Structure 1
Amino acid sequence: MKSKPAIMIFITLLTLFLIVSCFPDKSYEDSPSGFFTGIWHGWIAPLSLIIGFFDKSVRIYDAHNTGWMYDLGFYIAIISGFGSLSLFRSKKKND
């Protein structure tokens, strides 16, 4: 199957474009960001940080939010993201 790498590249690029389209920036929306938006922004925070070096309008955290509910969602996503890194680390066996 020679088309499998092409399909994987297409899916990867599509996923990246979808993630990039949802970065927090200067929001001028009528409604502030809430709990679920905070979760999303927490999940994409590492990518937002990298993109923020090149594009000054991209921020990790949305300042136009609902308060502690947005903060709760943001921190839940940040903590769960770093906690899941331990699943991929190799475990040493004690013999």
Structure 2
Amino acid sequence: MRRPAIRSWRRTAALVAVTVAAALVLAGCAATNTAAPAIAGAPGFWLGVWQGMILPIAFLVSLFDDHVAVYAVPNSGHLYDLGFVIGACVIPLPTILFGGGRARRRRAAR
């Protein structure tokens, strides 16, 4: 009696695997625009650093104002992305390296 249950489980697993594989193959065929033309005046590395640094403030403002975006959409590409990530890491870096104020006081009290 247990064999039919195992066979149906295997069939279900095989069907799921085939469905996922087919979805991945079809997603690989999606059209993308990798040769987008460079836009003159598009934000570059340094503006990405700045916008990454003001990320927490820009996020809070974007919740209430539809004209404020967290990330510049027409940007210069990978350099803007790198600057944005670097800028976003600048804000929490002192806390990560040196700990928060309470943690520092606890360490000093020991």
TM-score range, shorter chain: 0.5 to 0.7
Question: Which structure would you say has the larger RCO, counting Cα contacts within 8 Å and 6 or more residues apart?
Answer: 1
Look at both structures and tell me which one has the larger radius of gyration over its CA atoms.
Answer: 2
Relative to its length, the structure with more helix (as a share) is 2
TM alignment of 1:55-74, pairs within 5 A:
55-74=65-84
Query: What is the count of residue pairs matched by the alignment?
Result: 67
Unaligned runs of 5+ residues in structure 2 are 1-38
Per the TM alignment, residue 85 of structure 1 is displaced from its structure 2 partner at its CA by 2.6
- Scaled by the length of structure 1, the TM-score of the pair is 0.61
Distance 1:30 1:48 in 2: 24
Unaligned runs of 5+ residues in structure 1 are 1-28
Runs of 4+ in 1 over 3 A off after TM superposition: none
String of CA shifts for 1:2-42, please: whole Å, max 9, x gaps: xxxxxxxxxxxxxxxxxxxxxxxxxxx84110000000100
Percentage of identical aligned residues: 28
Pick the aligned partner of 1:36 from 24, 46, 55: 46
Pick the aligned partner of 2:100 from 72, 89, 94: 89
SS of residue paired to 1:72: helix
TM alignment of 1:8-27, pairs within 5 A:
none
Distance 1:52 1:30 in 2: 26
- Scaled by the length of structure 2, the TM-score of the pair is 0.54
